[in-house]
Amino acid sequence: MKKEYHQLSVEETLHSLNTSTLGLYLDEIEKRLQQYGQNTLIAQKKTSLFQKFIAQFKDLMIIILLVAALIAAFAGDISDALIIFLVIFLNAAFGVFQEAKAENAIDALKEMTTPSSKVKRNKQIKTVKSIDLVPGDIILLEAGDIIPADVRFISTSSLQVEEATLTGESVPVNKNTNIIKGIDIPLGDRKNIGYMNTNVTYGTAEAVVISTGMNTEVGHIASMINSVNQTITPLQKSIIHLSKMLSILVLAIALLVFIIGILADRASVLEMLLTSISLAVAAIPEGLPAIVTITLALGTQTMARRHALIRKLPAVETLGTTEIIASDKTGTLTQNKMTVEKIYQNDELTDAITTKMGINNLMRAMILANDSKKSQDGLIGDPTETALIQYHLTQSNFVSQIEQEFPRIASLPFDSERKLMSAIVQKDKQPILFIKGAVDELLQRTTRIEKKGKIIQLSDEDKKHILKVNHELAHKALRVLGFAYRPLSATPTSLSSDLLEQDLIFVGMVGMIDPERPEVRDAVTQARLAGIRPLMITGDHKDTATAIAIRLGILDTSQKDAVITGSELDRLSSAELNSSIEKYSVFARVAPEHKVRIVKAWQSKGKIVAMTGDGVNDAPALKTADIGVGMGITGTEVSKNASDIILADDNFATIIVAVKEGRKVFANIQKAIQYLLSANLGEVLTLFFMTMFGWDIFAPAQILWINLVTDTFPAIALGIEKPEKTIMKKKPRGAKSSFFSDGVLSSITYQGILEGVLTLGVYWIAIKYPFHTSNSLIHADALTMAFATLGLIQLFHAFNSKSIRHSIFNKELFSNKAFNWSILISGVLLSATIFIPSFNDIFKVTPLAPIQWLIVLLSSLLMLVVVEIVKYLQRMYSK
């Protein structure tokens, strides 16, 4: 079996790549460029704006509406046909506008790559374009560089590389050239390998390029992004399901009425065709796609004000169905900023935030044994070292004073083998060595300890106590550094660790951590109350991940077996992972492909999964999840462009705000659908039975006018209703829910029947107790009263629809100003057809007498009363 590069020695690596430490020659470079191609990432072919626009018309509901528009035109109502076409066009244009930012994640990956690199070629050091690098090139790296390709280090000096965007590990990794045994080694543990687009934070190195372009680990992620299919959201599934139901309804009713009419010889073929057309128009809620789009758009505006930016409209509603939030740890749950949390000195362990240290040798060691530097943008350097300086900048103003008082004259850089770093400073010509490093290594070189300003011999008991505290802090996921010092008799002429880093005086320890965001624990609690299960996915070690998860409330202390590592995941087949996935809440030491497997495993359980992340490594999982949530501040462009939602403030708590808004959006769309379909069912039943009874039926123009006037404005206004108080105390609806869940279908049915019965009842009353003696006027009045009743019933029913279950009188009935105006405007437009004489002929209606209007109003109000009674009985029954 061929060994991987981390298993090979430096010599074996160079030999396998047919290169040397002197670098490649020009003729060989040209051959390899032909063989491997440029060191760049290949983007997936993008669709044009025109293709995106055309794709909007592939939706079944849009097709139905196009047919409805043609039907309206065929019925002779060109103006209404044009209105429907306009609604369809605006809906498509809005969808394209929201999704115009095509998947440019690969472009973002390209932009992250450093434009040039220092390379050895023809035995000379040159600066070349990074896209021209080939396997076998020898490159030179130093602090501040971005690694331009995947490399095997051939020499290092105190090298540290920050790999959080790839592995998720928050602390820079110490790199070396040692051989690493084993095949299935996580990326974060391959200490002799560097990866494209990761950052050198400390030290220098010489490395040989082993992979370029799409063959790198980042290229592997790019391939995963390209291969991931976009998930259909629950909202889209619900609309597709609704479209199919309406299609069947439209065809069945229209065909049934046409056949019955012809068989019963009720009218000519053309007249029955027009009747069937009227029924088809009545069955289709023309404004539904526009109402869904507008409601979603209003939701995006609300969420934008709360720092959640929506890239794709359906994502607003999808958040409301979320059952699982799988969150990356570094930068999302935590601050991605090392912070001093614990101080150990004088045999006491204290909280750093409450410790007033004062000037002592522990403070001096923290400040002086430190290579971080100040700049206009803040502190630059290793995050651990900058955390030490930042602590003292926050606590006091002594940093500059100490640095000036103890100027550095030499240093021994950090070494991954001895795990120590020393600085030699002097005061009044007296040289002093200050040192920091791993506690166990430091204690091996320590003979004395300083306690409250007194220096005494370091006893075995002291050592045991120090190691015990060190272990306790490490177990709580803190990174622990020990500090010591040693006065020197003279300025050293040789910087030897064996000579200088001995006979040390121990002064204390510091425990540091990448702390959790302060708002996250409350957000986790809120998520649990809302029936959402939070998960943590990280590249950190198992102990660190467990400790952070306990601090956040994702785990409790009895759930430590709910943690699984990436290597353990590799040993599970897809079937085994799918069956056991519900056992785990924390996933540690994971690679990008693990995240995708985790998301898919939860999806196999029928769960709606939201994945949050900020790094390159998160992008495939963000696309695979039902909804991807990227971080706006710390997030890479790759993660942002792979996301459906971006958190502008990187605040985990904003996700819960977005979930609430998503639930509100669904509830409001559900109210609008109940209102629209019950109204349209009432229209269909009215027309159907008018046909069966041999009565005059509504003209297509009357049906279209009722639909356009009463459907559009009130339904849109229902889309901006305030959320009900219990909305975040309910469990998520889940993947199998639809707009007809929770008794909505039965409500649509009985309310539609009620509308039909009341309208037909008014028609019957008008015929039974006529206001005129002329038979033609009697039928004209009856049809006009039925027309007015059907329209007003729907406006009163809009008030019923403000809450599916609760009484409207328990809410602020008139608090929604947009709703109030919509009812008023719709009522005026409906009444205008009867009150304005010039409209009477157009809409085939007659003026009504006051007594006729009274019958219409009382019958319409009955809709409000009956539905309120039914909702009251439903609430009593549910209790």
> In this structure, is the dihedral angle defined by the CA atoms of residues 261, 262, 267 and 273, taken in order, positive or negative?
positive
Helix axes 652-693, 314-321, angle to 10 degrees: 100
User: What is the Cα–Cα distance from 368 to 436, expressed in whole angstroms?
Assistant: 10
Question: C-alpha distances in angstroms, 159 versus 114, 176, 344, 622, 814?
Answer: 19, 7, 29, 32, 67
The tokens for 287 are 């404004």
> In this structure, is the dihedral angle defined by the CA atoms of residues 515, 324, 643 and 523, taken in order, positive or negative?
negative
User: What is the Cα–Cα distance from 363 to 347, expressed in whole angstroms?
Assistant: 16
Q: Which 8-state DSSP code applies to residue 809?
A: G
Catalytic annotation present for 328: yes
Q: How many CA atoms lie within 13 A of 817 on its CB side?
A: 0
Taking residue 382's Cβ as centre, other Cβ atoms within 10 Å add up to 24
Secondary structure element (H or E) that encloses residue 627, with its range: strand 627-631
**Residue corresponding to tokens 């009341």:** 758
CB 334 within 8 A of CB 634: no
CA nearest to 214, candidates 205, 206, 223: 223
Give Cα 448 to chain centroid, integer Å: 53
Q: Which is it for strands 454-457 and 348-351: parallel, antiparallel or unpaired?
A: unpaired
CB 285 within 8 A of CB 683: no
Q: What share of the chain is helix, strand, coil (3-state, %, to 5)?
A: 55, 15, 30
- Side chain identity, residue 863: M
Query: N- to C-terminal Cα distance for the chain?
Result: 68
**Residue corresponding to tokens 């999964």:** 609
**Residue corresponding to tokens 């390159």:** 616
Give Cα 463 to chain centroid, integer Å: 48
C-alpha angle with apex 270: 264 to 275, nearest 5 degrees? 70
Catalytic residue of the set 77, 328, 462, 711: 328
Which letter, b or e, does each residue of 198-227 get, where b requires 16 or more Cβ atoms within 10 Å of its Cβ?
A: bbbbbbebbbbbbbbbbbbbbbbbbbbbbe
User: What is the Cα–Cα distance from 481 to 478, expressed in whole angstroms?
Assistant: 10
Question: C-alpha distances in angstroms, 600 versus 318, 545, 624, 637?
Answer: 17, 22, 8, 24
User: What is the Cα–Cα distance from 469 to 440, expressed in whole angstroms?
Assistant: 12
SS3 682: helix
Enzyme catalytic residues: 328
